[in-house]
């Protein structure tokens, strides 16, 4: 089964917690802090596997989670870093957030991209010793890992795309010029999934994609719709196959105009790429009239008469494809900067009649690594808030007495002009 779009959940591991520990050694009268740091949480990494050509595996597994880092321990022993989770995807996979933001465009075989980053480990109490805190009983909680839903879209990597109405002969043509063996039958929509074939008899090898047949209104979702049109996005050249035989009781020139309009409506950039027009089924009686009508409609463009069934004219068509490929540059691959977490500087207050005041900004990350429930850690964080000037901000905002002030998971209270713990 061919699957080219899925939605999955990725969750990187959180960092391990730092440890609170002190030296306890014989003949050492004053033992100092020796709590080790927590380990780093595992990343979610996507790797391009050239052996894959569908997203089918993601229909069965939709959640990918990395392990958390190990907690720190006494004697300054650091927690072990968690292993990364490697997720293999086919070449041509686009990774997008739910907002539509592109995270990665994965095309190069073997390349790896970090999609969700694991959190760093929390610091042990050995980092908090100072002249004021000689016996620190605080440590940091591990930083949470990134977690979100992403959409995977597969855009096949091909040099040439075959387009045309259903039953125009695209599958027969690709079976003649490559080792691809798609289903071929004498009825429309025989091809229900894209087929790839490698053409190697006409100079340097190139890849051809046969997408399911288009009909009028395909760009709006009619027929098989635009489900497979995006697989042409990476192609350099389009071969427009037109059935000129009288058996289908259709007008070849009109068929050409309809497909050209659908390509333009779907993507003007795609429609602007070089198009080679081939008149197929010339082996059938009466096809000369359809060829003449098509040539008049597309003049001065050249029409290449062929018979995909008998093979007549295919060599000339393929050498023309080879010539156009040689002078057509490859489409630029979308370059995406690593999806780093945005850096937030400063903080602000949000007011809510029921919840009181919530502090948002860079302070939230520090709050997420505070060991809530540990009075020493909470008192240390409170000192940090005072140094950052939060109390001055609350005074200037004329916050009422006994108003709760929430920061991350923690809650403080504003009483008589200062922040206090409950």
User: Which residues carry a binding-site annotation?
Assistant: 164-171, 189-193, 210-213, 280-283, 307-309
Element at 242 (helix H, strand E): strand 237-243
- Binding-site residue numbers for GTP are 164-171, 189-193, 210-213, 280-283, 307-309
Using CA atoms, how far residue 273 sits from 192, 253, 280, 377, in Å, is 25, 20, 21, 62
Contacts of 248 (CB under 8 A, 6+ apart): 167
Distance CA 206, CA 157 (A): 11
Task: Give the torsion sign (CA, 377, 378, 381, 383).
Answer: negative
- Binding-site residue numbers for Mg(2+) are 171, 191
Angle at 280 between CA 275 and CA 281, to 5 degrees: 180
Write the DSSP assignment of 379-408 as a string of letters: HHHHHHHHHTTHHHHHHHTTPPTTEEEEET
Contacts of 398 (CB under 8 A, 6+ apart): none
Q: Give SS3 for 294.
A: helix
Pair type for strands 356-361 and 403-407: parallel
Tokens of 81: 């870093």
Distance CA 302, CA 320 (A): 11
Range 337-370 burial, b when 16+ CB lie within 10 A, else e: eebeeeeeeebebeeeeeebbbbeeebeebbbbb
Contacts of 4 (CB under 8 A, 6+ apart): 54, 55, 153, 154, 194, 227, 228, 231
């Amino acid at each position: 089964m061919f699957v080219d779009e899925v939605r999955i959940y990725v969750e990187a591991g959180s960092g391990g917690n730092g440890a609170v520990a002190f030296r306890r050694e014989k003949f050492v009268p004053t033992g100092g802090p020796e709590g080790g740091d927590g380990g780093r949480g595992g990343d979610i990494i996507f790797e391009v596997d050239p052996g894959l050509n569908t997203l089918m595996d993601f229909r069965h597994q939709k959640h990918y989670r990395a392990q958390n880092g190990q907690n720190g321990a006494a004697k300054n022993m650091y927690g072990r870093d968690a292993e990364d989770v490697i997720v293999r995807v086919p070449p041509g996979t686009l990774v997008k957030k739910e907002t539509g933001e592109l995270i990665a465009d994965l095309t190069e075989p073997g390349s790896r991209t970090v999609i969700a980053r694991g959190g760093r480990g929390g610091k042990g109490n050995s980092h908090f010793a100072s002249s004021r805190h000689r016996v620190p009983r605080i440590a940091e909680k591990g930083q949470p890992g990134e977690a979100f839903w992403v959409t995977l879209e597969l855009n096949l990597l091909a040099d040439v795309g075959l387009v045309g109405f259903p039953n125009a002969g695209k599958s027969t043509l690709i079976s003649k010029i490559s080792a691809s063996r798609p289903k071929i039958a004498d009825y429309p929509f025989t091809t229900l999934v894209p087929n790839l074939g490698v053409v190697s008899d006409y100079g340097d090898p190139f890849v051809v994609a046969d997408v399911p047949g288009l009909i009028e209104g395909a760009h709006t979702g009619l027929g098989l719709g635009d489900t497979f049109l995006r697989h042409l996005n990476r192609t350099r050249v389009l071969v427009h196959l037109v059935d000129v035989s009288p058996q289908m009781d259709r007008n070849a020139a009109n068929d050409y105009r309809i497909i050209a309009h659908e390509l333009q409506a779907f993507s003007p950039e795609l429609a602007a790429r070089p198009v080679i027009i081939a008149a197929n089924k010339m082996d059938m009686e009466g096809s000369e009239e359809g060829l003449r009508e098509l040539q008049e409609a597309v003049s001065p463009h050249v029409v290449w008469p062929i018979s995909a069934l008998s093979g007549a004219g295919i060599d000339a068509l393929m050498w023309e494809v080879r010539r156009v490929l040689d002078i057509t540059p490859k489409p630029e691959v979308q370059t995406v900067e690593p999806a780093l977490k945005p850096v937030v500087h400063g903080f602000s207050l949000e007011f809510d009649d029921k919840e009181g005041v919530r502090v948002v900004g860079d302070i939230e990350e520090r709050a997420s690594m505070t060991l809530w429930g540990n009075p020493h850690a909470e008192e240390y964080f409170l000192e940090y808030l005072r140094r950052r000037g939060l109390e001055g901000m609350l005074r200037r905002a004329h916050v009422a007495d006994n108003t709760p002030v929430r920061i991350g998971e923690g809650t403080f209270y504003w009483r008589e002009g200062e922040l206090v713990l409950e």
